[in-house]
Amino acid sequence: MKIEEEIKGRFRNDYHKGIINLTYTANLLNHEFLQSLKEHGVTVQQYNVLRVLRGFRPKGPFSIGFLKARMLDRFSDVSRIVDKLFIRGLVMRQENPNDRRQKAIEITEKGLKLLAEMDSIEKKMDTLLNRLDKDEIIELNRILDKIRG
């Protein structure tokens, strides 16, 4: 459905329409993702931290800075996110004896088990873009990369 019909609105120009269309579509996809995460009691940021820790697991443990550099939301308070995951037993953290501000963080077996249960979420997310063929997905990614510069 066209964005004009979806939100019953008009636009100043095609650039304005593009921003509104991108925002509306991103919000729609994000809502679907949030609903899936909510079933497991995990926020987007917590999920992101757990995925990073699992993905780089053989090379761990990792610092807060390492995690922050890989976050999808660059403004996340990674220390607070790790604290919440630690309380739930999903990550381990150890203070560096030479610098108490530094912490070594690793995912626990409980965290790995939770992510395994949540793997279906990623498959579900893939289906949200299934109206696009392979070439269109490649083009979409190229255009989004270009927008970010």
Mean pLDDT by 10 residues, the chain (149 residues): 86 92 90 89 93 88 88 85 95 79 88 92 82 93 92
pLDDT for res 136? 94
The Cα 60–Cα 15 span in angstroms is 44
Among 2, 44, 38, 42, CA closest to 20: 2
DSSP state string for 96-116: ETTEEEEEEEEE-HHHHHHHH
- All structural domains of the chain, each given as residue ranges with its CATH number in brackets, are 1-39 (no CATH), 42-120 (1.10.10.10)
Element (H, E) at 136: helix 134-148
Enumerate helices (H) and strands (E) in the chain, giving the number of each: 7, 2
What sign results for the dihedral spanned by CA atoms 128, 134, 136, 142? Answer: positive
Among 103, 28, 22, 95, CA closest to 66: 103
Tell me the three state secondary structure of residue 129. coil
The Cα 61–Cα 52 span in angstroms is 11
pLDDT for res 75? 79
The Cα 96–Cα 120 span in angstroms is 36
- Please calculate the CA angle 15-17-21 and round it to the nearest 5 degrees: 120
pLDDT for res 124? 81
pLDDT for res 74? 77
